[in-house]
């Protein structure tokens, strides 16, 4: 009987030590930013987008899937992403413009962690 109680107590302690499954935090709210507040490179990227290219990176214009759920939920193919050059960066860097099919435009400078909707 004592052995059974000791085993039950040990099991309870082991169970209590297991960390709870981390819940994904809800996405940060999307705030607005005026076009004039964006870096020059972001404004240049917008000009390229409106002209239809040519784009400096092969992945510019690909579908942005919004896996993080930071932007309003839409059907696949609704959003497209474009690279915003980062001075001194040898790769694509972290800055992007994401365009919605409805005309909305978003900017991120931290690789999709936070977005700001561009107000023109």
> Where do the domains of the chain lie?
28-119
Q: What is the pLDDT of residue 93?
A: 93
Catalytic residue among 32, 44, 89, 111: 111
Cβ-in-10-Å burial (0-12, 13-18, 19+) of 108 comes to buried
Structure confidence at residue 68 as a pLDDT band (50, 70, 90): confident
Instruction: Please tell me whether the overall predicted TM-score, pTM, comes out greater than 0.85 for this model.
Output: no
Looking at the predicted structure, is the pLDDT value of residue 8 above 90?
no
Segment 68-80 shows an average pLDDT of: 95
Q: What is the pLDDT of residue 23?
A: 58
Looking at the predicted structure, is the pLDDT value of residue 16 above 70?
no
Q: Is 80 known to be catalytic?
A: no
CATH number for the segment(s) 28-119: 3.10.450.30
Catalytic residue among 37, 68, 81, 114: 81
CA–CA distance, 90 with 76 (Å, rounded to integer):
30
Q: What is the pLDDT of residue 24?
A: 58
Closest CA to 115 of 24, 30, 26, 25: 30
Mean pLDDT of the chain: 85
Q: What is the pLDDT of residue 28?
A: 67
Structure confidence at residue 115 as a pLDDT band (50, 70, 90): very high
Q: Is 81 known to be catalytic?
A: yes
């Amino acid at each position: 009987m004592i052995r059974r109680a000791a085993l039950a107590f040990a099991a309870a302690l082991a169970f209590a030590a297991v960390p709870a499954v981390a819940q994904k935090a809800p996405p940060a709210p999307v705030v607005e930013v005026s076009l004039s507040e964006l870096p020059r490179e972001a404004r240049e990227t917008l000009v390229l987008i409106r002209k239809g290219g040519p784009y400096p990176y092969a992945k510019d214009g690909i579908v942005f899937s919004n896996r993080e759920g930071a932007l309003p939920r839409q059907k696949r193919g609704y959003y497209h992403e474009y690279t915003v050059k980062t001075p001194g960066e040898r790769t694509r860097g972290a800055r992007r413009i994401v365009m919605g099919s409805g005309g909305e435009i978003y900017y991120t400078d931290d690789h999709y962690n936070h977005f700001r909707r561009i107000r023109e």
